[in-house]
A and B are shown apart, each in its own frame.
Chain A
Amino acid sequence: MSIPPCLLHVRIHNEEHHFGVWLPLFLAWLILAVLLLALLPLFILLLIIAFPFGWGEFMLQLGPRLYNILCALRGLKVDVVKTSEKVEILFV
């Protein structure tokens, strides 16, 4: 089973500063999970309303597809170097 990235590593170098920070993304996912759980009854209600209009399947599939996108972010790396500045972002 694939899981979303747990950490986000951001490194910034410039003439004055040089630092790196590991952001605990898993905490954000935990908060998001609790929020989604709280909104679940509202989602079910919306789903019941949306089905006759043909949007039900779209709404049902949207969640898992977005989750797949989140999981696929693992390994994404962006490096930007501009003269004396460098920014690195890595999803781990």
Chain B
Amino acid sequence: MTENQKKILEMVADKKITADEAYRLLSLIQPSGDASDSGIKIPKPAPKYLRVIVDTEHSWEHGCDNGPVHVNVRVPVALIRAGVKLASLIPPEAYNQMDEKLKNRGIMFDLRNMKPENIEELIQALNDLEVNVDGSAEKFRVYTE
């Protein structure tokens, strides 16, 4: 509740103004009924899809240039959720082997950190994520919708 709203309610309590007048004043303070004005944060709805867009100017197949390629993939967030839950079943020995392979390829990512109990937090965090990579020949974009 803002200071102005408090003052109006105090004026009603002191019978300085009528309820109708108070209503009119309150609607003037908060014309659109926007909750953000009163300090209430409305959380963004959870994303439904992860969009991955890749644009390349050249695609090489059998040593010859096949021209530009545009790839647009819409991945349901539920699939990411289900994937993480499935990954939690991977035995620890397999995790070690995967870590080693990833490190050999220069990817420093520990799959053990992806736990099903953290997935909702991760998905909510994806809401604010947007990755744009503009290379000379490739463009890469990842965002949620």
Q: How far is the CB of B14 from chain A (nearest CB, A)?
A: 57
Q: Kindly state the interface size class of chain B when it binds its partner.
A: 20 to 34
Chain A residues numbered 22-81 whose CB sits less than 8 Å from any CB in chain B:
58, 61-62, 65-66, 68-69, 71-81
When distances are taken between beta carbons in the complex, the residues of chain B under 8 Å from A68 are 82, 85-86
CB pair B66 A62 closer than 8 Å: no
CB pair A58 B66 closer than 8 Å: no
When distances are taken between beta carbons in the complex, the residues of chain A under 8 Å from B86 are 65-66, 68-69
CB pair A75 B71 closer than 8 Å: no
CB of B72 within 8 Å of the partner chain? yes
CB pair B79 A72 closer than 8 Å: yes
When distances are taken between beta carbons in the complex, the residues of chain B under 8 Å from A65 are 82, 85-86, 89
CB pair B78 A82 closer than 8 Å: no
CB of B76 within 8 Å of the partner chain? yes
- How many chain A residues touch B (CB < 8 A): the figure is 20
CB pair B76 A76 closer than 8 Å: yes
Cβ-Cβ contact count across A and B, 8 Å cutoff: 66
Query: Majority SS of interface residues in chain A?
Result: mixed
The residue that A72 contacts in the complex, of B73, B74, B78, B91, with Cβ under 8 A, is: B78
The 30 listed contacts between A and B (C-beta, < 8 Å) are A58-B89, A62-B89, A65-B85, A68-B85, A68-B86, A69-B79, A69-B82, A69-B83, A71-B78, A72-B82, A73-B76, A74-B76, A75-B74, A76-B75, A77-B72, A78-B72, A78-B73, A78-B74, A79-B70, A79-B73, A80-B70, A81-B69, A81-B70, A81-B71, A82-B59, A82-B66, A82-B67, A82-B68, A83-B66, A83-B68
Q: Which B residues are within 8 Å of any A CB, using their own CB?
A: 48-49, 59, 66-76, 78-79, 81-83, 85-86, 89, 91
* Supplied contacts A68-B82, A80-B69, A82-B66, 17 more A-B pairs, CB within 8 Å: A65-B86, A69-B82, A72-B83, A73-B76, A75-B76, A75-B78, A76-B73, A77-B74, A79-B70, A79-B72, A79-B73, A80-B71, A81-B71, A81-B72, A82-B59, A82-B70, A83-B66
Q: Which A residues are within 8 Å of any B CB, using their own CB?
A: 58, 61-62, 65-66, 68-69, 71-83
